[in-house]
Structure 1
Amino acid sequence: MNDDTRAPHFLLVHGAWHGSWCWRELQDHLTQRGWTSHTVDLPSVVSEGADGKLPGLMDDARVVREVIDAAEAPLVVVGHSYGGAPVTQAAVGAANVAHIVYVSGFALDVGESLMTCFGGDQPDLSTVEGVVPVRENPETTLYNDVADDKRDAALARLLPQSALSFAEPVSRAAWKTVPSSYVFCDDDQSLPPAYQEPFAQRTGTTYHLPSGHTPLLSMPDKLADLLVGIARSSW
């Protein structure tokens, strides 16, 4: 058990198309190990049929920062996949963020967005509306190593993601000033390791899990052990 009242808590930030529900099993493992965790629901994940001007990355970052500022303990902030982008924006200047962990996450640099970080063109943000639908073949791209029952339950809960969240660039980058680590997902079919590498190089320490894109569902026990190890070293 972890008896130090000043030990960090975890703030878990989900990726595109997901919600705080995806962390539940990992949170149970963290609780069993004596650690406190918090989640947030990003407003860029929208309801079916949503259209027009929708919340973007900056809205997500604002919500994440509100949770950071309200925390009563130091935080290890964990950003999974897209969730790494609003974390990168939100954690700058937050004195209570002890560490950032990117899990196959987008550790963007200033001026980068999900649309441009691999060489795409930056659109005029005033014209960006609507949603990015759940990516093709999510049962393999997102959940290739997730047990069938958990995979099917997750697939049923996925929702559209606002296009603006993929188009908005970050204006600051927390990994430049906050100690950070990167967790490679070595069997990732959504963001393969070669695409994770540029983001990992921006962090101080790298780790590996033999997982697909979503280890929080496929191997939450192993991810919990890894996160606890990182947290112990951060305070």
Structure 2
Amino acid sequence: MSTFVLVHGAWHGAWCWERLTPELERRGHRVVAVDLPSDDPAATFDDYAEAVVAAMGAATDPIVVGHSLSGNVLPLVARRAPVRHAVYLCAMIPDPGRSQSDQERAGGMTDPAYLKGLRRTDGCTVWADADLARELLYQDCAADVAAAAVARLRPQAYGPPTEVWPSGPLPAVPATAIVCAEDRILHPDWSRRVAPERLTAAVLELPGGHSPFLSRPAELAEALHGLG
């Protein structure tokens, strides 16, 4: 049995793992789903990492899974607590000396189409275009699953993506990048290239879009089970 610590990405919450959690539990694993303070404009990636470590509690050698934006959080967690394995699920990967925003502006990492669906309010971005959210985040989910997910999207502070990652190597933790071949947010080709370069990570590939925890939870659970 392994403990999987599941860390959601931008605009989501611990709720997004509700279809994956029972699949992992059926395979004999313990699951901790974390709620990040991502709607707090004052919170930083360091604060996100502290929230993950607090939620982990006394978990021994957990496997920490970070989705999307939370790829920036995984190395910070590994600096604070023992982590057996870090899983970058359709996730951004930090580049020392640059911010996520710097990487996005350079091109090749994300599809800027998602920016058209957002508006800014109170230090955060929110999804203002529900149809575009469904198209980009949940295109391969059942209609009812996608609708429920869109209804629960929350604000995401836009400060953390502008934080410049400190210079120096990322923590030397065993890592795997799970890439979804039809991801419409994070370019799969970018992940395939960058994960081995920056993390010396193995790359596993699944079909489908950016949210496999909702669209194909059993398949994702089986991939994670193989790491446990």
Determine whether 1:225 maps to 2:222: yes
Q: Secondary structure at the match of 1:216?
A: helix
Moved more, 132-141 or 8-17: 132-141
- Structure 2 CA distance for partners of 1:158 and 1:12, relative to 1, 3 Å: same
Q: Secondary structure at the match of 2:103?
A: coil
Structure with greater proportional helix content: 2
Q: Secondary structure at the match of 1:61?
A: helix
Give the structure 1 partner of residue 43 of structure 2. 55
Query: What residue identity is the alignment partner of 2:146?
Result: R
Mapped to 2, the partners of 1:28 and 1:158 lie a distance apart of 22
Q: Secondary structure at the match of 1:109?
A: coil
Mapped to 2, the partners of 1:71 and 1:135 lie a distance apart of 39
Mapped to 2, the partners of 1:135 and 1:108 lie a distance apart of 28
Query: What residue identity is the alignment partner of 1:104?
Result: C
Among 77, 87, 103, the residue aligned to 2:89:
103
Mapped to 1, the partners of 2:192 and 2:128 lie a distance apart of 22
Among 203, 213, 217, the residue aligned to 1:216:
213
Contact 1:92 1:178 in 2 (8 A): no
TM-score scaled to structure 2, two decimals?
Answer: 0.84
Give the Å deviation of 1:135. 7.4
- Structure 2 CA distance for partners of 1:207 and 1:173, relative to 1, 3 Å: farther
Give the Å deviation of 1:99. 0.3
Identity of aligned residues (%): 35
- Structure 2 CA distance for partners of 1:85 and 1:160, relative to 1, 3 Å: same
Give the Å deviation of 1:110. 2.4
Mapped to 1, the partners of 2:87 and 2:214 lie a distance apart of 17
Matches within 5 A, 1:1-235: 7-46=1-40, 53-68=41-56, 70-92=57-79, 94-95=81-82, 97-119=83-105, 130-134=123-127, 137-171=132-166, 176-201=171-196, 202-203=198-199, 204-231=201-228
Q: How many residues align?
A: 209
- Structure 2 CA distance for partners of 1:106 and 1:148, relative to 1, 3 Å: same
- Structure 2 CA distance for partners of 1:173 and 1:191, relative to 1, 3 Å: farther
Give the Å deviation of 1:173. 7.7
Give the Å deviation of 1:116. 1.2
Contact 1:108 1:199 in 2 (8 A): no
Contact 1:141 1:189 in 2 (8 A): yes
Mapped to 1, the partners of 2:179 and 2:128 lie a distance apart of 21
TM-score scaled to structure 1, two decimals?
Answer: 0.82
- Structure 2 CA distance for partners of 1:78 and 1:173, relative to 1, 3 Å: farther
Query: What residue identity is the alignment partner of 2:160?
Result: S
Contact 2:39 2:124 in 1 (8 A): no
- Structure 2 CA distance for partners of 1:207 and 1:149, relative to 1, 3 Å: same
- Structure 2 CA distance for partners of 1:135 and 1:218, relative to 1, 3 Å: farther
Moved more, 163-172 or 20-29: 163-172
Mapped to 2, the partners of 1:9 and 1:175 lie a distance apart of 23
Give the structure 2 partner of residue 123 of structure 1. none
Give the Å deviation of 1:165. 1.9
Mapped to 2, the partners of 1:179 and 1:166 lie a distance apart of 24
Unpaired segments ≥5 residues, structure 1: 1-6, 47-52, 121-128
